[in-house]
Structure 1
Amino acid sequence: MDALVETLDTKLRQWQPDVAEQVRQYIVAIIEMADQDALDILRSKDVEQEALDFSDESVN
């Protein structure tokens, strides 16, 4: 986990400020969902988005 934290810290300093802030917000949201045992909802949304992306690709 320490390597993950170090990598994140390095990246947050390298990215543009608006990108770094967006990443921080995503991480806070993921932590809050994990605290509420709600990550399965996030996975469902990911699967749904992948299906929509695949559908869009097959139309083109």
Structure 2
Amino acid sequence: MDVLAERLDAKLRAWSPEVAEIVRQQVIEIIEIADQQLSDIMQSRLVEQEVLDFLDELPNQ
């Protein structure tokens, strides 16, 4: 397990249930933001590849 994940796990068990729940929700939000940004990058690369494929299919002039 990653050192950060181990530290977070230990802290979640040490904090009060209320604080632990707030932190859990914030971490979930951060993960969703990171996933969305990765998704945006992947979408851009997909569009870029589609353009390159289209250009490859054009007849040579």
TM-score (norm 2): 0.58
Q: Aligned runs of 1:1-60 on 2, under 5 Å? A: 2-37=2-37
Distance 2:33 2:3 in 1: 23
Residue ranges of structure 2 left out of the alignment (5+ in a row): 39-61
Distance 2:2 2:34 in 1: 19
Residue ranges of structure 1 left out of the alignment (5+ in a row): 39-60
TM-score (norm 1): 0.58
Distance 2:19 2:36 in 1: 26
Percent identity over the alignment?
61
SS at 1:36 equivalent: helix
User: What value does the CA root-mean-square deviation take over the aligned residues?
Assistant: 1.6
Displacement over 2 Å in runs of 4+: none
Distance 1:34 1:4 in 2: 16
